[in-house]
A and B are shown apart, each in its own frame.
Chain A
């Protein structure tokens, strides 16, 4: 492990909770519905983060707890039953219904597992029910996906068939690219988790080799291991370097020669490097500060330093699983300052003091920092954009070069100012 500087911080945080991950999970599995059991705050959070209005009827919603639901838990269970019945009558196309726990449902100890079990019996053969927690007292932002995937694992049948399983939500086009490349490498049996249809869950077992596409899946990894899956240790497929190492690690696990990998991905690397040039020109030597939110921060820092030559001031992460992030941390430059957790006020003090060229942060902080003259990139875009793989390296860099380029244009002295 390289000599990075690990720090921990506690205090007030400025991050989304796990419910936010519904925003991309529901797009990945169009036959699923995500029903949050929570408060008006939960409903408001999701609609504020997701632009719900564009849907005629979204595939996620909130069963809002009311005064009377808090009085007796038995009644709350009955009420939830009623809401689910109404929902299924209205949306017969739903194949899987996720009951998603929230802060209030966790605090009043609403037993969603029991509710799901009962509903599974009643709707046998029609709708499957699974439950997980997206609550902000337990999960941050992307950890919601970890919870959702973990909840699906018990439904996955066992197999001894040898296969490569890509784990973590990917944009469909990126997934297709990855599969094509793996097939070219000679790995033919490739599946993804989560799948594109919630009912088409991959089978898993001792000959399943898991390759993670996202760094925030600690609990899912643990349960996949329990089911006998082998976890391929690799950095994450962000940027050319990360993606190359990722392909190499998979190839090694399938006993495919390094030479073969290079043969197939070299043309991709060459054109990606070319595409990256113009962004590197802007990013080179610029100083970067990453605030914690998506757990992608370490991989992004590695990419932006190693391939775009940015200088890293501080890399925040809401949660650090040193084991899962081992390969990534190895690729970081020495003395990189990693801060796990947050005291948002103290961290912003450090942002101001360090005078960064770019800050990666949440939407609540971006405009206030811009108003102070600090360029920002909001982190939520990272989980909505197709950024994985060699072919997307330039697109990933563009997310960071764009605000700097814009800043250059707008502060250009050639404009006549009034």
Chain B
């Protein structure tokens, strides 16, 4: 049993719903009690979908348990098939139905329908949402393509040359409730098309079962989100010989590496190599003198596997930040995140407990947090700027404007989204410096709230944990005044150091002179 106040991922059947809702001509009959229908709002409210998810919940009740719940399942399947006429039917159960073992998938298969039926067994007491999405996409792909395995020759990535046409690829992994998937797909398709590569199928987002059957018309697969598509990509490679890409095109370096990888796999010469460096504004914006102050900014990263790993690379190599913390809630990608952390001399934080993440954040004292919506809230409480880089989805993560994370435009978006909160930090500093000027309007506060601006409070208050150790030390008026003049973002550190120094010298008072003594001592 695990005490959970808030969780990064939903149950695995919500993952299955993400696949079903992303696609066309599919219906999902879910053996589940009425409360589970809450999941519809994830799509209709968070993603602002104008359609209900294609899901029929059996909504069995306690009184049904004594009778024949299997009959109830069959009734719901029959009605759903008649009403929605899906080309493929997904059948599964949520946590409670798993316990009563009606085996709805097997029941559906015995009902004599001629459409393909995918029996989803998603263990609700050990697995989570992303796993459920991945497994559903895999089972669906396998069901729709398994009969073609024997009759189809292994697909050579060079096949397009023999066929005398442009190379074709599939883009696999984008789904509803995935972070900026809608726009990433547009960006990646644009990049591929500029290189003379056609998109055969995008799936699951916007695909129908017919499209899944057409996957093997492409030469290779682009595995855009490993959390969702890696298992399917591996199956397609094993059974059809289809190669798939490993690089996630988030950030300039990764996007270029991704383009290289696709070209290498397809045996397509890359002719515009030099051009690629200039496709995004990020490299120049990062190089311009205005960005000097970004150097060595301490950044804490937590999110899903795909976005955390990419963020660490961009932060370090493309923006010149110092990564002081890295972690993920995606246990399936823990290995890769650990490896990335190791390269940065860090130990990865792998957890589903947001309070642990908040603690780690406090300990590392970052100047910027890149995280999920939960880290945004934690960071707000700590007065640290934050940018959201990963699911779980929030209505704010589905912006009206075009806002990808991947490719050239994605890099532009990332530069703005990560740096602007810091700009506000600099502005905060200016406000602090100029606040004694007569032109200054009292009450000028930034989005960070009061935490960063209230100098007096900060100087006078004893931090909780410091209370005992600092007992007896008094800041004199001159010492306090001097501390006020120090930029807010280093003030905390200066205060702690000076007090440490005062204790070590057995001083009971800190004046402006003590402050300078301490400064000299520590420098």
Chain A residues engaging chain B, CB cutoff 8 angstroms: 11-20, 35, 38-45, 47-49, 52-54, 56-58, 60-67, 69-70, 76, 79-80, 82-83, 86-87, 103-104, 106-108, 135-138, 140, 345, 362-368, 370-371
Tell me if B50 is interfacial: C-beta within 8 Å of chain A. yes
Minimum CB–CB distance from A385 to chain B (whole Å) comes to 18
Chain B contacts for A69, CB-based, 8 A: 1, 125
A367 with B6: CB separation less than 8 A? no
Provide a sorted-by-A list of 23 A–B residue pairs whose CB atoms are within 8 angstroms: A13-B34, A13-B59, A16-B38, A17-B33, A38-B95, A39-B124, A40-B10, A41-B14, A41-B36, A43-B4, A43-B6, A48-B39, A57-B5, A58-B6, A64-B3, A64-B4, A69-B1, A80-B1, A82-B1, A137-B65, A137-B96, A363-B40, A367-B50
Ranked nearest first, the 10 interchain pairs of A and B with the lowest CB-CB distance are A17-B35, A371-B50, A136-B35, A364-B40, A39-B95, A103-B96, A79-B1, A136-B33, A44-B10, A363-B41
Q: Is the CB of A365 within 8 A of B40?
A: yes
* Contact assessment for A41 and B95 in the assembled complex, using a CB-CB cutoff below 8 Å: yes
Say yes or no: is B412 at the interface (Cβ < 8 Å to chain A): no
- Asked if A45 and B34 sit within 8 Å, CB to CB, the answer is no
A406 → chain B, closest Cβ, in Å? 16
Known: A15-B37, A48-B38, A364-B52. A41 touches B10 (CB 8 A): yes
Chain B residues whose CB sits within 8 angstroms of the CB of A18 once the complex forms: 35
Contact between A365 and B2, CB atoms less than 8 A apart = no
Interface residues of B in 1-19 (CB under 8 A from A): 1-7, 9-11, 13-14
Least Cβ–Cβ distance between B383 and chain A, in angstroms:
14
B2: chain A residues within 8 A (beta carbon): 63-64, 66, 83
Is B381 positioned at the interface, with any CB of A under 8 Å from its CB?
yes
A40, A80, A104: most-surrounded residue (chain B CB, <10 A): A40
With the chains together, A83 CA to B57 CA distance in Å? 32
Q: A41-B14, A61-B3, A64-B3 are in contact. List 4 more A-B contacts (CB 8 A).
A: A38-B95, A62-B3, A366-B44, A371-B50
Chain B's closest residue to A57 (CB) is B5
Contact A48 B41 (CB under 8 A): yes
In the complex, are the beta carbons of B44 and A65 less than 8 A apart?
no
The closest CB in chain A to the CB of B51 belongs to: A368
On chain A, the residues within 8 Å of B355 by CB distance are 57
> Are B44 and A76 in touch, CB under 8 angstroms?
no
B206 at the interface (CB under 8 A from A): no
> How many whole Å from A18's CB to the nearest CB in chain B?
8
User: Contacts A364-B38, A368-B44 given: A62-B4 contact, CB under 8 Å?
Assistant: yes
- A76 to B99: give the CA distance in the assembly, Å: 15
- The answer to whether B6 touches A136, judged by C-beta atoms less than 8 angstroms apart, is no
| Cβ contact within 8 Å between A66 and B125 | yes
- A53 and B10 in contact, given A12-B57, A107-B100, A368-B49 (Cβ under 8 angstroms): no
Instruction: Take A39-B124, A63-B1, A370-B50 as given contacts and tell me if A16 and B35 are in contact as well, using a CB distance cutoff of 8 Å.
Output: yes
**When A39-B95, A67-B126 are in contact, do A44 and B11 touch as well, CB less than 8 Å?**
yes
CB distance from B377 to the nearest CB of A (A): 5
Q: How far is the CA of A318 from the CA of B39 in the complex (A)?
A: 19
- Closest chain B residue, CB of each to CB of A82: B1
Q: A12-B76, A103-B96, A107-B100 are in contact. Are A41 and B6 (CB under 8 A)?
A: no
In chain B, residues 74-128, which have Cβ atoms closer than 8 Å to a Cβ of chain A?
76, 79, 83, 94-96, 99-100, 123-126, 128
Partner of A15, one of B9, B34, B62, B76: B34
Contact B95 A40 (CB under 8 A): yes
Q: How far is the CA of A53 from the CA of B358 in the complex (A)?
A: 12
From known contacts A65-B125, A83-B1, infer whether A107 and B51 are also in contact, taking CB-CB under 8 Å: no
Contacts of A35 in B (CB 8 A): 3
Chain A residues with Cβ below 8 Å from B51 are 368, 371
Across the interface, which residues of A come within 8 angstroms of B381, CB to CB?
56
In the assembled complex, the CB of B61 is this many whole angstroms from the nearest CB of chain A, namely 5
Residues of B within 8 A of A (CB): 1-7, 9-11, 13-14, 33-42, 44-45, 48-52, 56-62, 64-65, 76, 79, 83, 94-96, 99-100, 123-126, 128, 355, 373-374, 377, 381
* CA gap between A49 and B2 in the complex, in Å: 21
Q: A166 vs B40: C-alpha distance in the bound complex, in angstroms? A: 35
Residues of B within 8 A of A103 (CB): 33, 35, 95-96
Q: What are the residues of chain B within 8 A of A366 when measuring CB–CB? A: 44-45
B-chain residues with CB within 8 Å of residue A16 when the two chains form the complex: 34-35, 37-38
Q: Are A87 and B3 in contact (CB under 8 A)?
A: yes
Closest to B53 in A: A364
Residues in A neighbouring B76, C-beta threshold 8 A: 12
Q: In chain B, what residue has the closest Cβ to A44?
A: B10
Q: Contact at A61–B4, with CB atoms within 8 Å?
A: yes
Task: Report the Cα distance A20→B41, complex, angstroms.
Answer: 14
| Min CB–CB distance A304 → chain B (angstroms) | 24
In the assembled complex, the CB of A136 is this many whole angstroms from the nearest CB of chain B, namely 3
A70 to B60 CA separation, bound complex (whole angstroms) = 21
A44 to B128, CA, bound (A): 11
Q: Which of B50, B52, B57, B124 has the most CB of A within 10 A?
A: B52
Q: How far is the CA of A70 from the CA of B123 in the complex (A)?
A: 12
Chain A positions within 8 Å of B44 at CB level: 363-368
Please give the distance in Å from B415's CB to the nearest CB on chain A.
26
**Would you give the shortest CB distance from A126 to chain B, in whole angstroms?**
19
Q: Which of A12, A49, A86 contacts B59 (CB 8 A)?
A: A12
The winner among B9, B35, B40 for most chain A CB atoms within 10 A is B35
B83's nearest neighbour on chain A, judged by CB, is A345
Closest to B394 in A: A53
User: Which of chain A's residues have a CB closer than 8 A to the CB of B83?
Assistant: 345
Given contacts A39-B125, A371-B51, contact A140 B34 (CB under 8 A): yes
A364-B123 contact in complex given A40-B11, A40-B128, A87-B3, C-beta closer than 8 Å: no
Structural contact, B40 and A19, CB atoms closer than 8 A: no
Closest chain-B Cβ to A375's Cβ sits at a distance in Å of: 14
Question: In the complex, what distance in Å separates the CA atom of A44 from the CA atom of B50?
Answer: 22
| Contact (Cβ within 8 A) B57 A49 | no
Nearest-CB residue, chain B, relative to A38:
B95
A45 touches B35 (CB 8 A): yes
Bound Cα distance A369, B508 (Å):
70
Across-interface contacts of A49 in B (CB, < 8 A):
38, 41
- The complex places the Cα of A87 from the Cα of B3 at a distance, in Å, of 8
- CA separation between A58 and B14, bound complex, in Å? 23
Q: Do A136 and B125 have beta carbons less than 8 Å apart?
A: no
Residues of B within 8 A of A57 (CB): 5, 355
Nearest-CB distance from B166 to chain A (Å)? 35
CB atoms of A44 and B14 under 8 A apart: yes
Contact B95–A367 (Cβ < 8 Å): no
A368 touches B52 (CB 8 A): yes
Contact B65 A107 (CB under 8 A): yes
* Chain B nearest Cβ from A290, distance in angstroms: 17
A44 B40 Cβ-Cβ under 8 A = no
Residue from B41, B48, B94 having most chain A Cβ neighbours under 10 A: B41
When chains A and B are docked, how far (Å) is the Cα of A49 from the Cα of B96?
20
**Do B41 and A364 touch across chains, with their CB atoms under 8 A apart?**
yes
Given the interface pairs A41-B36, A370-B50, the reply to whether A66 lies near B377 with Cβ below 8 Å is no
By a CB distance below 8 angstroms, the chain A residues around B38 are 16-17, 20, 44-45, 48-49, 364
The answer for the CA separation of A173 and B3 in the assembled complex, in Å, is 34
A40 to B99, CA, bound (A): 14
Taken together as a complex, chains A and B put the C-alpha atoms of A108 and B2 apart, in Å, by 17
Determine the distance from Cα of A64 to Cα of B7 in the docked complex, in whole angstroms. Answer: 11
Assess whether B36 is in contact with A86, with CB atoms less than 8 Å apart: no
- Nearest neighbor of B128 in chain A, beta-carbon distance: A40
Residues of B contacting A39 with CB < 8 Å? 11, 95-96, 124-125
Judge whether A137 and B61 touch: CB under 8 Å.
yes
Cβ-defined contact, A41 with B124, below 8 A: yes
Please measure, in the bound complex, the distance between the C-alpha atom of A14 and the C-alpha atom of B38, giving whole angstroms: 8
- B96 nearest CB neighbor, chain A only: A103
Contact B7 A40 (CB under 8 A): yes
Q: Are A364 and B37 in contact (CB under 8 A)?
A: yes
Determine whether the beta carbon of B50 is less than 8 Å from that of A61: no
Q: Nearest CB to that of B79 among chain A residues?
A: A345
